[in-house]
Amino acid sequence: MATMLSVKDLHVSYGAIKAVRGVSFDINEGEIVTLIGANGAGKSTTLNTVAGLIKPESGTVEFQGKSIVGVKAHKIVEQGLAMCPEGRRVFTHMTVAENLEMGGYTRTDAENAETIELVYEHFPRLKERMRQVAGTLSGGEQQMLAMGRALMSRPQLLMLDEPSMGLAPILVEEIFDIIKTLNQNGTTILLVEQNASMALSIADRGYVLETGKINKTGTGQDLLHDDDVRKAYLGG
Amino acid sequence: MFDVTFVTQLLNGLQLGSIYALIALGYTMVYGIILLLNFAHGDIIMVGAYISWIVMSQLGMSPVLAIILSVAGCTLLGVLIDKVAYAPLRDAPRLSILITAIGVSYFLENGAQLVFGADAKVVPQYFEMDNLMLGDVQLSSVSLLIIIVTAVSTAVLTYVVNRTKLGKAMRAVSEDMGAARLMGINVNNTISFTFAVGSALAGIGAVLYSMAYTQASPTMGIMLGTKAFVAAVLGGIGSIPGAVIGGLLVGLAETFVSAIGLSVWKDAVVFLMLIIVLVVRPTGILGRPMTEKV
Ligand SMILES: Nc1ncnc2c1ncn2[C@@H]1O[C@H](COP(=O)(O)OP(=O)(O)OP(=O)(O)O)[C@@H](O)[C@H]1O
Ligand SMILES: [Mg+2]
């Protein structure tokens, strides 16, 4: 199995605040890997750094064997690494179709015409609302749009930052089902979640992040049954 | 019944308002994308007017060339100002970049004074045009041309912003720069494009202004810029139709206040209008409530 993403000894600070202190992890092609941890553990910071939005102090990030530290975020998307950010961040004044078009910014119109149909297959509700302004969508629909938008670049690796945040349980199920389907169709997934039990139950492997450091790793099932993890993240 | 002076004044008001509108568009677009009040924007008009003067008066070359070089020169200058003065400060506090904009404005004004002297230059007529007669009312062909060119420019701009890939990228960047980066949008290029379009409109404004008022002076951009800025805020800063409506309102108000013999009050009336609109609608006529910037 080829390594898709390899992060080694990553350090990231915001001024004097050290948010990430020596994080290392790997993702193999075809896997779902989850990063779990409490609020402020450094999960989003790690993802944002990999995506090129933040520059790390030190450490290496290799995507498909090539270093992407210092590469501009928009170039990283071109290489096949997309991120669906925390809080969705859809373009609220633009329509659903325009949001998806922005997701496919690095692709040709012909490619986008194809991909958008695939996205509508995963998210039929987006098709019904394609001309609706994104700001008027419900939270769940906005999450679907944010994911669909990230898929438009046809990524090999999709990073999802808390896709279940603020959603009703039934929608959370739906989103996780779609994540599994995407993975079965060949997209490698890095999933950050507060909802640790859901995330671990679909993940091949997981990493537990605590105050900027990885303190545990294992298969999804191992972590799901680990006493420390159960106490800290699964409510007993 | 329309009397002759009313029609003439209406046309004058729309002519002045159109020029304000073209300049206001540049303010509003740049503010929309990087939240900067680009105080140097008015001075770009001044440079455009001097380019026309140099090309026609000094070099004796054709008016068409003067128009092309004025618009191209303004476009380049706008992009250059962004690259040299504003881009290095993209992550700096907003006040730093605002002060830089004021500095650029002084630099251009004083630079022009140094090079061309403080006295106004006369920009020759670009074209000989006969006025049109509508019944017994004489319609200024320059006014009509200015209004038409402004209408067409606004229509093209609206199309670019709403329908083209770069225009959509502009809207995406202005809403959420980080999210736009994650889409694969090159944010710096998109900002440059915005400056280019806004400054090209200023270039068109410079040519139209020179056609109507035939003067270039180092400080001409100050009042023009201030009025256009008021127009942009009045219409709702960040809004393209707002800039046009604001521009026309300011132009009409000034012209009619002067027409009834109160020309010393015209600036006061414009600022009074601004205050009233902002009290009633703090976002301006078509402005959106500020969405949170992430
Ligand atoms: N822009 C910022 N400026 C300063 N400090 C920041 C910034 N963003 C995050 N931090 C700090 O960095 C640390 C890690 O934050 P991060 O957002 O990565 O955590 P997280 O694991 O994603 O948390 P959550 O589950 O709440 O989303 C926190 O202490 C946070 O306060
Ligand atoms: Mg987070």
Ligand 1 pocket, mutate which of A11, A12, A13, A14 (most atoms under 8 A from CB)? A14
Atom of ligand 1 nearest to the CA of A46: 18
B289: confidence class by pLDDT, cuts 50, 70, 90: low
Give per-residue pLDDT as tens, A76-101.
999 999 999 999 999 999 999 999 99
Share of chain A above pLDDT 70, in %: 100
Interface touch A94/B294, C-beta < 8 Å: no
User: CATH assignment of B11-280, given 2.160.20, 2.60.40, 1.10.287, 1.10.3470?
Assistant: 1.10.3470
In terms of Cα–Cα distance, which of A236, A235, A233 is closest to A36?
A233
Give per-residue pLDDT as tens, A143-159.
999 999 999 999 999 99
For B170, name the nearest residue in chain A, comparing CA atoms only. A102
From first CA to last CA, the distance across chain B in angstroms is 54
Give per-residue pLDDT as tens, B54-87.
999 999 899 999 999 999 999 999 999 999 999 9
Residue-range domain boundaries for chain B: 11-280
Predicted confidence (pLDDT) at residue A232 exceeds the cutoff of 90: no
Sequence-separated (6 or more) residues with CB below 8 Å from residue B280: none
Give per-residue pLDDT as tens, B265-277.
888 888 998 899 8
Q: Which strands, in side-by-side order, build the sheet including A188-193? A: A81-84, A157-161, A188-193, A32-37, A205-210, A213-219
pLDDT of residue B7: 85
pLDDT of residue A236: 62
Using a cut of 0.90, tell me whether the model's pTM lies above it: yes
Arithmetic mean of pLDDT, A229-234: 85
What domains can be seen in chain A, in order of their start residue? 1-80+157-236 (3.40.50.300), 91-154 (no CATH)
Predicted confidence (pLDDT) at residue B294 exceeds the cutoff of 60: no
A45 alpha carbon, closest ligand: 1
Atom of ligand 1 nearest to the CA of A162: 27
In the 8-state DSSP scheme, what is residue B120?
P
pLDDT of residue B292: 39
Q: Whose CA is nearest to atom 29 of ligand 1?
A: A40
A130 in Cβ contact with A119 (< 8 Å): no
Give per-residue pLDDT as tens, B90-147.
889 989 999 999 999 999 999 999 999 999 999 998 888 888 887 777 888 899 999 9
- Residues whose beta carbon lies within 6 Å of some atom of ligand 1: A 14, 17, 19, 37, 39-45, 86, 194
pLDDT of residue B255: 92
B293: confidence class by pLDDT, cuts 50, 70, 90: very low
Collect all residues of chain B within an 8 Å Cβ-Cβ radius of residue A155: none
In the 8-state DSSP scheme, what is residue A207?
E
Q: What is the dihedral of CA B107, B189, B67, B226, to 10 degrees?
A: -50
pLDDT of residue B48: 97
